[in-house]
Amino acid sequence: MKRLLALMIFVLSLTASFGQKEVPYLSGRVNDDANVLMASTVQKLENLLEAHEDSTSNQIAVLIINSLEGEILEEYSLKVAETWQLGQKENDNGVLLLVALNDRKMRIEVGYGLEGDLTDALSNRIIRNEIAPSFRQQDYDRGIESGVLAIIAAIEGSYVSDQGEQTAISDDLSGIPWYVRLIVGVVFTLVIGTFSYFAFLTKGGAGWFLFLFLLPFYATFPIIIFGFIPAIFLFGLYFFGFLYFKLFYIRTDKGRKWYKAKASSFKSSTRSSGSSWSSGSSSSSFSGGGGSFGGGGSSGSW
């Protein structure tokens, strides 16, 4: 019975491991299993990464494969990094740049010791700004070289994206799902749009109070919904549009007539809605050197 149980466990373990993609042999700092890099690029990167390791003890490795073969990118990347044990055991200062060509996916896996320097946000920016643009043009040599140089610069604290802080903000917001943007957009349009309308049609200090009250909302929520550039445009449209309307337009004959008509209809609708609201009821629902990795880094595609 014990032998049968042991046999069953052995068979189950084989079945579980069957179909899993094996971790390639660590043949060097640049492991091009897909054979897409030129020999000169591989040698150049090998020399660069060796010099970096000699001066810092950081171990950076590159792995390019054809396909993940059904594996999950993050899980496979962590498996490779842990199997290779990149980084020194006492420092956990290893980094893996993994590229799966046919899947059009890539990931920067960062060891514990370098997570403070090569943060998830920086890894994301490197993928988006340095590697992905070249990969879209099928220039893998340039993409890998730019990525490696950016990783080293980030560790040294000297990496600055060519696209600046605007790109950093966009990268931080890029993970927001589309349905969250949609929900925020609908709520923003209904709620903030209504209060904006009130601000335009309310005279005196109350109108200016609403104007100032809404400024933080226009400065934050549109970035989540539309992105950085459209949000700046919308904020400027609200800010300067309100000032122009209040200080200049309603002083003209055409503006006074328009304002008078809208204000009267606004007051009547407010009174009618207020009476109906008060009469009803309300309800709502609302090989390395033994380094360790913990999943730090970032993933991307092109």
Residues near 49 by beta carbon (within 8 Å), at least 6 away in sequence: 29, 30, 60, 61, 148
pLDDT tens, residue by residue, 70-99? 888 889 988 998 888 888 888 888 999 999
pLDDT tens, residue by residue, 119-167? 888 898 899 999 999 999 999 999 999 999 999 999 988 887 655 444 5
Architecture of the 23-173 domain: Roll (3.10)
The secondary structure of 114-138 as a DSSP string is GTTTS-HHHHHHHIIIIIHHHHHTT
Structural domain boundaries in the chain: 23-173, 178-269
What is the predicted pLDDT for the residue at 163? 52
Query: For the chain, where are the alpha helices, taking DSSP H only?
Result: 2-17, 39-56, 73-84, 120-126, 132-136, 140-156, 164-173, 178-187, 193-201, 204-226, 228-247, 253-279
Residues near 251 by beta carbon (within 8 Å), at least 6 away in sequence: none
What is the predicted pLDDT for the residue at 107? 93
At residue 91, the 3 state secondary structure works out as: coil
